[in-house]
Amino acid sequence: MRIPPTSINARATPITPENKSTAVTIATWLLTVTFIIMFLSREAIKFVVLRKFQVDDLLILLATVSACGLSATTLILASDGLGVIEPLTIRRADVFMKGYYASDFLYISSVCFAKLSLLAFFYGVNIKRGHRRLVQGLGALIIAWTIGSLVTVAFQCGLPRPWEMLTLHCYNSGVFWIVYCIIDMTTDVSIIMLAVNLVAYLQVKFSRKVTVVACFAPRIFVIGAALARLVYLYPISPHTNPTFNLWVPVVCTQIQVCLSISTACIPYMKPFFEGVEAGVWRVDDLRRRGLTPSGLYGYGSSGGYRKARSKDREAYSMDSTLGSSLNKRTPDVSPRIDTPTPLSPLTP
């Protein structure tokens, strides 16, 4: 099939002060490849270690699928004039408004699923009932706020064409994005604090606790990307050539989504498993054996307290014995066993 010369010229368009579409395309591809690699690495490592598909895997998969849809939408917008200063035709305006309208849904969904995947992880490894309730409360807040945000975005302009953001029939979206960004950053800070709280109850060395916290600390960069997106997005209005000026907020959106998914995958990298294998995954093993991890910290009914403590001590003893046998080399020579004195007919 013969490719029209106009397509070749469009793909080879250099980055100029009047044309940033190529920059948007390059950034989108690089960021998309990055979070896909992080997602695949996460799933491969977790499958090797646990060999099962859990709720957090489903949530991070949904986040990645939404992010891929966002990237595809951004590439379509870039190929149709996003970041280009030129006369806006009716066809280009219609494509731009519909694409940007869809990208808002995909952006909010991807950020939500990435956060919920981390909360699902916290819920699975937290052994205190109070901590698990905190995780449930934060998850409920994120879900409720996401649903409210999606409804708000869905009706940002007058019906029956709610995607026509370039008209004057829309509410002040800048105020909405300010509120959204504040709650978004607050939930990210809460996730980091949950990680610190988790580390406080791990029975591991201090150096490994630092490693675990370091796995969640990059969420700070997600907060920075969200703030940068808001700073560039807020001043833009239908009167300020949005098809060109929106190229920076669009790239910031891609960066935030990439960081959100990537940082949600970092805790499943090898250093994290080395840091918590002695504490966190033991709790999961206790649950699979039908034991109550809360008994380790004095929670549960008073009648079954002693029984739970004895079972948990036995389980921990088995775990420590198994761990030492796996981490230490088995001696080549069997331990010496004293031979009993042989009996003979002359023995009195």
**Residue type for 117, please?**
S
Q: Are residues 215 and 297 in the same domain?
A: no
pLDDT more than 70, % of the chain: 73
Instruction: State pLDDT tens for residues 238-271.
Output: 777 888 888 999 999 999 999 999 999 988 875 4
Q: Are residues 301 and 172 in the same domain?
A: no
Q: Are residues 207 and 307 in the same domain?
A: no
Q: Are residues 296 and 174 in the same domain?
A: no
Q: Are residues 162 and 307 in the same domain?
A: no
State which residues form the domain around 105.
10-279
Tokens of 154: 């869905």
Q: How confident is the model at residue 143, as a pLDDT?
A: 97
Lowest mean pLDDT among 209-223, 251-265, 270-284: 270-284
Q: Are residues 44 and 164 in the same domain?
A: yes
Q: Are residues 294 and 182 in the same domain?
A: no
Averaged pLDDT for residues 190-211: 81
Instruction: State pLDDT tens for residues 303-322.
Output: 443 444 444 444 444 344 43
Domain membership flag for residue 141: yes
pLDDT band at 338 (very low <50, low <70, confident <90, very high): low
Number of domains the chain is built from = 2
- Which residue bears the tokens 């895997």? 57
Residue 99 near residue 77 (C-beta atoms within 8 A): yes
Domain membership flag for residue 331: no
Q: Which of 246, 279, 312 is the last residue of a domain?
A: 279
Averaged pLDDT for residues 270-286: 50
Q: How confident is the model at residue 323, as a pLDDT?
A: 42
Q: Which of 279, 314, 341 is the last residue of a domain?
A: 279
Domain membership flag for residue 338: no
Higher pLDDT, 272 or 60: 60
- Which residue bears the tokens 């099939």? 1
Angle between helices 173-200 and 206-216 (to 10 degrees): 170
Measuring CA to CA, which residue among 169, 78, 70 is closest to residue 113? Answer: 70
Highest mean pLDDT among 6-20, 61-75, 83-97: 61-75
Q: Are residues 202 and 315 in the same domain?
A: no
- The angle at the Cα of 204, spanning 58 to 38, to the nearest 5 degrees, equals 30
Domain membership flag for residue 342: no
Instruction: State pLDDT tens for residues 40-63.
Output: 999 888 888 778 888 999 999 999
On the question of pLDDT at 272 being above 80, the answer is: no
Q: How confident is the model at residue 20, as a pLDDT?
A: 87
Q: How confident is the model at residue 228, as a pLDDT?
A: 95
Instruction: State pLDDT tens for residues 135-144.
Output: 999 999 999 9
Q: What is the mean pLDDT of the chain?
A: 77
Domain membership flag for residue 17: yes
Q: How many CB atoms are located within 10 Å of the residue 76 CB?
A: 16
Higher pLDDT, 280 or 120: 120
